[in-house]
Amino acid sequence: MTGSERLRAAFPKDRVALMPYLTAGYPTLEAAREVGEAYIAAGADVVEIGVPFSDPLADGPTIQATTTQALKNGADLDYCLDLASGLAGRVPVVFLVYYNVVFARGVEEFLRAAEEAGVSGLVVPDLPADEVGRFAELCGEYGVGLCPLAAPTSTDERLAWIGKLATGFVYCVSVAGVTGARDELPPGAVELLRRTRERTDAPVALGFGISSPEAAAEAASEADGVIIGSKLMQLVGEGGSERAGDWLSKVREAIVGVRQELHLKNQDQTQPLSPEDGG
């Protein structure tokens, strides 16, 4: 099974996938491994690992602070790959990585190393569809799932393009803005999920600003996955992996029932095409 197949298979049919994020190397190189373990114990379906970059343009203050600390701790790409391989045996791992880190390693060499470490998918926030060209082909060759961003400002035409490029999942950005915990789900988020779903057969995940079990449950009615980052990094900062894991368990409880109810109402309409169905 390729990484992208494994990633798609990780989206359960009967409920939304739980996709927690961690910054590699935060709060320390060792403690980041514990954070990953806590996520798995809390029932994560996919773990998203942020590869630290000095200038993370898509990230708000919370995640910026974690990447700054991680870089001070010495979290380079080799460390991130090692961290990924330690988790990837049990749960699909996705890298969130800024393009210069990929480019500096060399695109092919980066993909080879990622595949070897068991990384299933890539989110490259500063590589929009316009620039993805050859990179997408190479991801295909290495079987690593590409997970492009879709934004509330994306036109329907672009969403179709993005949807086609997504060999992993489509990462819907809930709000025009950077990452960071917000009190409630922005009103445009559900609309974006619907517009995206109409134009892709890839799973559709929602991220940016989901910071309460309630917001996650709300997203769960339309999304195939919820990505939670800043809130968890805040909790790790305050109380370590244990605190983050406990909170994540609550989110899991909140989202488990949602999709089943919806599923009964809508039958198959909201289902993504999973590998079992489509290939």
Residues labelled catalytic: 48, 59
Give the β-pairing of 204-207 and 119-123. unpaired
Cβ atoms of 235 and 198 closer than 8 Å: no
User: Does 129 participate in binding other proteins (rule CB under 8 A)?
Assistant: yes
- At closest approach, how far in Å is the CB of 185 from other proteins? 17
User: Does 77 participate in binding other proteins (rule CB under 8 A)?
Assistant: yes
Cβ atoms of 61 and 48 closer than 8 Å: no
- At closest approach, how far in Å is the CB of 64 from other proteins? 7
Distances (CA, A) of 128 to 23, 116, 132, 145, 267: 22, 25, 6, 15, 34
User: Does 83 participate in binding other proteins (rule CB under 8 A)?
Assistant: no
- Tell me how far apart the alpha carbons of residues 68 and 25 are, in angstroms, rounded to a whole number: 10
Q: Which stretch binds other proteins (CB under 8 A): 52-60, 84-92, 215-223, 264-272?
A: 52-60
Cβ atoms of 61 and 92 closer than 8 Å: no
User: Does 277 participate in binding other proteins (rule CB under 8 A)?
Assistant: no
> Strand locations in 57-208, DSSP E?
93-96, 119-123, 145-146, 149-150, 170-173, 204-207
Of 156 and 246, which has the nearer Cβ to other proteins?
Answer: 156
And the tokens for 222? 């339309």
User: Does 102 participate in binding other proteins (rule CB under 8 A)?
Assistant: yes
Of 23 and 241, which has the nearer Cβ to other proteins?
Answer: 23
Residue found by looking up tokens 């999304």 in the block: 223
Taking only Cα atoms into account, the Rg of the chain, rounded to an integer number of angstroms, comes to: 17
Cβ atoms of 119 and 91 closer than 8 Å: no
Q: Which of 1, 13, 55, 109 binds other proteins (CB under 8 A)?
A: 55
Q: Which stretch binds other proteins (CB under 8 A): 111-119, 172-180, 240-248, 264-272?
A: 172-180
User: Does 227 participate in binding other proteins (rule CB under 8 A)?
Assistant: no
User: Does 211 participate in binding other proteins (rule CB under 8 A)?
Assistant: no
- Tell me how far apart the alpha carbons of residues 168 and 233 are, in angstroms, rounded to a whole number: 24
User: Does 154 participate in binding other proteins (rule CB under 8 A)?
Assistant: yes
User: Does 24 participate in binding other proteins (rule CB under 8 A)?
Assistant: no
User: Does 126 participate in binding other proteins (rule CB under 8 A)?
Assistant: yes
Of 31 and 160, which has the nearer Cβ to other proteins?
Answer: 160
Q: Which residues bind other proteins (CB under 8 A)?
A: 53-55, 57-58, 60, 64, 68, 71, 76-77, 98-105, 125-131, 148-155, 157-158, 160-162, 164, 173, 176-178
